[in-house]
């Protein structure tokens, strides 16, 4: 989805704030969220795609105004409500107050994503990223959709996140690292001698004839 | 293939922002999730704590620094590292989740590499540990692909205009490690001393040694 998490190229954020000698966790609650996530993974309650998408569906204002591990907590709580029979009332009762969750899953994967392990492209292939603007989960950021690039590397086949995030099925497709000139992405505003490589599943790509 | 599209429901109880109750503090929300998991028999505290301790104590940029130092002193190792990062990093005993598919990109006099995850927080855990907050921040994720040279200068790293900046957006399964250039004043240093010169930020690409 073209959600708040899809940040590549967005303007207006200002300087990157670096915390010197940052600890792994800021306080016990961050460690506790990490611990909860390990437990949920061990219980088999989420996979990578489902977890990422549970965070992407957060209210945009909540996403931008909350610390990183609150994203994890909100996503995990949402998945527990959606998939493990936990109710929001139970969570709010236990927490003693409001417990914001993510918005509903509106997604469905494109229905033309079929299992495929043999790569269609190779290093040097010219490709264009298909424009899809999925309402569900995808790992094709909006800043590369519709853009033209060149494959620099094939990395083997992996589970397509667009499918994995919305069903219990796994469909594998080849992935590639694709090189884009900054000018292709940002037009006349691009910096000189800057290029961006991004890793994309084959179903995101079409031949650039 | 099945998909699980759900109609959007404006009255869905999951949606954020429909609660008159004041927000529960983050610590109370974490405790609520922990108690839900514990009551359902999904929280094996000993097993989970062992995993968390592994992340806090065993993983971190010292591992990546050992990889870099080895590459600086052993040309054959460097060739293997650039050809198959996962296997060469595995030779030093590092691997596992978020490090199963490693690509190492080499800085040279002509090329500077920078790693980002614009969509979430993908990062090579076995070699660098868990990512710092700034790496996961909207500002870094938004700007690293749009204006990397300006961003790096703001963060204290001047990349000369003639040097190409290659940004790597880790959007699929590969995780990236930057191999920094060996500083000129390190002739004759031992591998251990060299490793102590390697910083986390230089292996992300926001610093030049």
The ipTM value here is 0.97
Count CB pairs under 8 A between chains A and B: 274
At residue B19, the pLDDT reads: 52
At residue A47, the pLDDT reads: 80
Q: What's the mean pLDDT in B55-83?
A: 96
At residue A43, the pLDDT reads: 86
Q: Do A45 and B42 touch (CB under 8 A)?
A: yes
Active-site pick, B120, B137, B190, B196: B120
Chain A neighbors of B49, CB-CB under 8 A? 35
Q: What's the mean pLDDT in B114-127?
A: 98
Provide the CB-side half-sphere exposure for B85 (13 A, CA).
Answer: 22
Is B117 annotated in the active site? Answer: yes
Q: pLDDT tens-digit profile of A169-203?
A: 899 999 999 999 999 999 999 999 999 999 999 99
Q: Pairing state of beta strands B175-179 and B102-106? A: parallel
At residue B154, the pLDDT reads: 98
φ, ψ (nearest 5 deg) of residue B53: -60, -40
Chain B neighbors of A13, CB-CB under 8 A? 137-139, 142-143
At residue B18, the pLDDT reads: 55
Q: Pairing state of beta strands A205-207 and A194-201? A: unpaired
Q: Do A39 and B37 touch (CB under 8 A)?
A: yes
Q: Average pLDDT over chain B, rounded to whole?
A: 91
Chain B neighbors of A153, CB-CB under 8 A? 103
Residue to test with chain B: of A22, A33, A39, most B Cβ within 10 A: A39
Q: Is B29 on the interface with A (CB under 8 A)?
A: yes
- Chain A from 130 to 189: CB within 8 A of any B CB: 139-141, 143, 153, 155-156, 158, 163, 166-167, 169, 171, 175, 177, 185-186
Q: pLDDT tens-digit profile of B123-179?
A: 999 999 999 999 999 999 999 999 999 999 999 999 999 999 999 999 999 999 999
Alpha-carbon span B173 to A20, nearest angstrom: 29
Is B122 annotated in the active site? Answer: yes
Alpha-carbon span A91 to A89, nearest angstrom: 5
At residue A78, the pLDDT reads: 97
Residue to test with chain B: of A58, A79, A98, A200, most B Cβ within 10 A: A98
Alpha-carbon distance A125 to nearest alpha carbon in chain B (angstroms): 18
- Alpha-carbon dihedral angle through residues B36, A49, A197, B74, given to the nearest 10 degrees: 70
Is B170 annotated in the active site? Answer: no
Alpha-carbon span B164 to B106, nearest angstrom: 12
Low-confidence spans in chain A with pLDDT less than 70: none
Residue B35 pLDDT > 80: yes
At residue B20, the pLDDT reads: 59
Residue B5 pLDDT > 50: no
Closest to A153 (Cα-Cα) out of A111, A182, A188, A125: A125
- Lowest mean pLDDT of A204-208, B7-11, B71-75, name the range: B7-11
Residue B194 pLDDT > 70: yes
Q: Do B142 and A166 touch (CB under 8 A)?
A: no
């Amino acid at each position: 989805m073209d959600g708040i998490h899809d940040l590549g190229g967005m303007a207006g954020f200002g300087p990157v704030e670096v915390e010197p000698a940052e600890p792994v966790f800021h306080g016990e609650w961050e460690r506790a969220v990490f611990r909860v996530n390990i437990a949920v993974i061990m219980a088999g309650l989420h996979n990578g795609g489902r977890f990422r998408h549970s965070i992407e569906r957060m209210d945009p204002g909540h996403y931008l105004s909350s610390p990183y591990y609150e994203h994890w907590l909100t996503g995990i709580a949402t998945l527990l409500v959606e998939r493990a029979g936990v109710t929001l009332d139970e969570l709010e009762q236990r927490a003693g107050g409001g417990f914001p969750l993510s918005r509903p899953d509106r997604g469905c994967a494109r229905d033309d994503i079929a299992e495929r392990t043999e790569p269609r492209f190779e290093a040097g292939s010219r490709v264009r990223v298909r424009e899809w603007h999925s309402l569900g989960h995808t790992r094709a950021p909006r800043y590369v959709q519709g853009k033209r690039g060149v494959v620099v590397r094939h990395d083997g086949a992996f589970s397509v996140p667009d499918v994995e995030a919305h069903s219990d099925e796994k469909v594998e497709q080849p992935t590639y690292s694709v090189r884009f000139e900054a000018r292709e992405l940002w037009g006349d505003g691009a910096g000189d001698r800057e290029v961006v490589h991004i890793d994309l599943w084959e179903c995101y790509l079409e031949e650039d004839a | 293939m099945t998909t699980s599209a759900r109609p959007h429901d404006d009255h869905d109880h999951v949606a954020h922002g429909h609660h008159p109750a004041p927000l529960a503090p983050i610590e109370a929300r974490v405790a609520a999730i922990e108690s839900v998991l514990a009551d359902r028999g999904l929280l094996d505290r000993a097993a989970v704590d062992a995993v968390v301790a592994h992340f806090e104590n065993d993983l971190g940029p010292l591992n990546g620094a050992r990889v870099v130092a080895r590459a600086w002193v052993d040309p054959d190792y460097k060739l293997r590292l650039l050809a198959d990062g996962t296997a060469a990093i595995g030779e030093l005993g590092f691997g596992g989740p978020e490090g199963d598919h490693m690509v190492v990109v080499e800085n040279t006099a002509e090329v500077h590499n920078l790693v980002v995850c614009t969509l979430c927080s993908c990062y090579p855990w076995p070699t660098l540990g868990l990512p710092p907050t700034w790496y996961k921040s909207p500002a870094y994720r938004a700007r690293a692909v749009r204006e990397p040279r300006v961003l790096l200068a703001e963060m204290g790293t001047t990349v000369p205009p003639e040097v190409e900046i290659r940004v790597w957006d880790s959007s699929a399964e590969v995780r990236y490690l930057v191999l920094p250039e060996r500083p000129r004043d390190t002739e004759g240093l031992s591998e251990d001393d060299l490793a102590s010169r390697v910083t986390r930020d230089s292996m992300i690409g926001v610093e030049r040694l």
